[in-house]
Chains A and B, each alone.
Chain A
Amino acid sequence: MNTIALILSGIAGATLTYFVSTHFKQSTVRASALLSLVVGLFFYAFPDLLNTFLTKNIPMVFFGSSFIGMVSSKYQVNYIHLAMAGVLFGMIYLLKSDFFIGFGGMLGAIALIALLSTLGVTKFVSKSNSLKKGVQNAKATLKPIFREKFKRK
Chain B
Amino acid sequence: MKKHKVIRIFTIASILLIQIIFLIKLVQDKYAANNRSATLTILLIAISLALGYRYVSLHHKLYAYEKISVAIWVPIGALACYSLNLHTNLGSVICAGIIGTIASFIPSISKDIAYLQKIPAAIYCGVFVGMSSSLVLPSTQFVLASGTLAGIFYMLSKKLFFGFGGKLGTIAFCGVLVVALINYLA
Contact: A88 with B172, CB < 8 Å? no
B80 to chain A, nearest CB (A): 13
Report if A16 contacts B (CB, 8 A). Answer: no
Residue B148, interface by CB 8 Å: no
Residues of B within 8 A of A116 (CB): 49, 52-53, 56, 58, 164, 166
Q: Which residues of A contact B105 (CB under 8 A)?
A: 30
User: Once the chains bind, are A112 and B176 in contact (CB under 8 Å)?
Assistant: no
Choose from B91, B133, B164 the contact partner of A59 (Cβ within 8 Å). B91
A67, A101, A109 pick with most chain B CB within 10 angstroms = A109
* B51 near A123: Cβ-Cβ < 8 Å: yes
Contact with B along A77-89 (1 / 0, CB 8 A): 0000000010010
- Residue from the set B99, B101, B150, B162 with the largest chain A CB neighbour count within 10 Å: B101
Contact flag A75-B163 (CB < 8 Å), given A33-B97, A44-B90, A119-B56:
yes
Asked if B97 and A34 make an inter-chain contact with CB atoms under 8 angstroms apart, the answer reads: yes
Task: With CB as the reference atom, state the residue of chain A lying closest to B82.
Answer: A104
Query: Given B51, B97, B174, which contacts A121 in the complex, CB threshold below 8 Å?
Result: B51
Distance, CA A92 to CA B168, complexed state (A)? 18
Instruction: Given A108-B128, A120-B51, A120-B55, verify A103-B93 contact (CB < 8 Å).
Output: no
Contacting pair B96 A120 (CB below 8 A): no
Q: Could you tell me if B55 and A127 are in contact, using CB atoms closer than 8 angstroms? A: yes
A33 contacts B169, C-beta separation under 8 Å: no
| In-complex Cβ contact of B94 among A41, A92, A99, A105 (8 A) | A41
Pairwise interchain contact A108-B168, C-beta atoms closer than 8 A = yes
Check A120–B94 contact: CB distance below 8 A: no
Chain B residues with CB under 8 A of A27:
104, 107, 120
* Contact in complex: B93, A60 (CB < 8 Å): yes
Question: Does B29 lie within 8 Å of A97, measured CB to CB?
Answer: yes
B103 interfacial by beta-carbon distance below 8 Å: yes
CB-based contact B94/A119 at 8 Å: no
